[in-house]
Amino acid sequence: MNLLLASTHYGAWTPPLYSQHGGSIDKLIDVVHVFMFVIFIPWAIFFVYCLMNFRARPGHKATYTPIKAKVSKYAEVGVAIFEAFLLLGMSMPVWADYKNNPPAPDQRLEMRVVAEQFQWNFHYSGPDGKFGATRSSLISASNPIGLAEDDPASKDDIVRVNECHLPVDKPIYLRLTSKDVIHSFDIPTMRVKQDVIPGMEIPIWFTIDKNATTDSIRPQMKTVVPMDKAEWYKVRHLVAAVDHKVKDEVVLAKGADLGADLTKGKELLEQLRKKGLTELTLEPRNPLEIVCAQLCGNSHFKMKAQVMTHTAEDFAKWLTESSKKPEMQTDF
């Protein structure tokens, strides 16, 4: 179980929740699951009863006229009423409260997100708050969104590939679009999901909890893995949470990973076993991620971006320092 949690970073029931609006969504999901379980049990019992009572057997003839029963009608009406309550009384108010209250322009961080097969491109306006112009004719491997460098507004713009930096406790407003096919922007830990359509720009917004910085989340996802169960492909996204010592010798320093590929990873794990290390205390380097929830091609599984969350002060520093670099920011 520890290995499973370590590889997914998610809980057994739902992913950890780090957004301010996600609680109402989780409650709605819980109610729906309980309701489905409640109606599943009697329907399963009724199904088994029908299989046994109306099976083909000698001396038993089928009845082709409809059976009239009040209990089944009452049950169907009750289910319909509760489903209407779920839709009108719970789902629509949650959706309306979210979609009808976008953050004000002067209070939010606005970003452009450009999806493509198979990566996420994040466009920040920089300290001046103005997005530079983009042109499709300028798109290249080093300029994935086609940012026009001759536009004065683009001088301090920042572009990141599969690397998303966000502040906590500040409304975040994303403008989503796609360069090729339909994708689906999904941050499970923020309860945010939105289809991304070519030719359209679709906004979505959320606010990250003030205590959900990457540095504070990472230790919460610490896991201990016995060396006899440590396999590189299960722990490749994790780093050492502490200094691992054998006879006062540091054999795996805090923050170190287990190799960039399978060959290096297997060699390092074998060396650690030979030195007498019995277990690994690990944590994710970047515990939050963005995934594509729409099957978008043969490498759909690779379309993930790492999310780094910062305090307002740290994010402002990152924004200022990153905007000073003259070259296009494209960290793969």
Residue 2: predicted pLDDT: 39
Question: Based on the domain organization, do 70 and 188 belong to the same domain?
Answer: no
Domain-located, residue 17: no
Q: What distances in angstroms separate CA 89 from CA 34, 93, 307, one per listed residue?
A: 16, 7, 34
Least confident of 187-191, 285-289, 315-319: 285-289
Same structural domain for residues 115 and 227? yes
How much is the pLDDT for 12? 54
pLDDT computed for residue 325 by the predictor: 57
313 pLDDT above the threshold of 60: yes
pLDDT value of position 92: 85
* Over residues 62-89, mean pLDDT: 82
* Final residue before a domain boundary, out of 46, 64, 99: 99
For 309, the domain range is 1-12+103-332
With contact defined as beta carbons under 8 Å apart, do 310 and 318 qualify? Answer: yes
pLDDT digit string, tens, across residues 4-25: 333 344 555 778 889 988 888 8
- Are residue 35 and residue 86 in the same domain, yes or no? yes
Q: Is position 181 within any domain?
A: yes
pLDDT band at 161 (very low <50, low <70, confident <90, very high): very high
254 domain-assigned: yes
Which residue shows structure tokens 């088994």? 48
Which of the listed residues 43, 70, 99 is the one where a domain comes to its end? Answer: 99
Summary mean pLDDT of the chain: 86
pTM (2 d.p.): 0.78
Q: What mean pLDDT do residues 202-209 have?
A: 94
Looking at the fold, whether 218 and 258 belong to one and the same domain comes out as yes
Q: Which pLDDT band holds residue 331 (cuts at 50, 70, 90)? A: very low
- The pLDDT assigned to 9 comes to 47
Judged by DSSP in three states, 150 sits in coil
| Predicted confidence (pLDDT) per residue in 272-308, tens digit | 888 888 899 999 888 899 999 999 999 999 899 999 9
- Tokens 């306006």 identify what position? 125
pLDDT at 183 over 60: yes
Domain boundary among 59, 80, 99: 99
In a domain, 190, yes or no: yes
The CATH number that applies at residue 182 is: 2.60.40.420
Same domain, 264 and 166: yes
Query: 210 and 248 share a domain?
Result: yes
What is the C-alpha separation between 267 and 78, in angstroms, rounded?
62
Does residue 301 share a domain with residue 152? yes
| 3 band by pLDDT with thresholds 50, 70 and 90 | very low
The number of folded domains in the chain is 2
pLDDT reported for residue 222 = 86
Q: Are residues 75 and 115 in the same domain?
A: no
Ranges of beta strands (E only) in the chain are 109-116, 119-124, 158-161, 163-167, 171-178, 183-187, 192-196, 202-207, 223-226, 238-240, 244-246, 249-252, 279-284, 288-292, 304-310
Strand order in the sheet with 238-240: 223-226, 279-284, 238-240
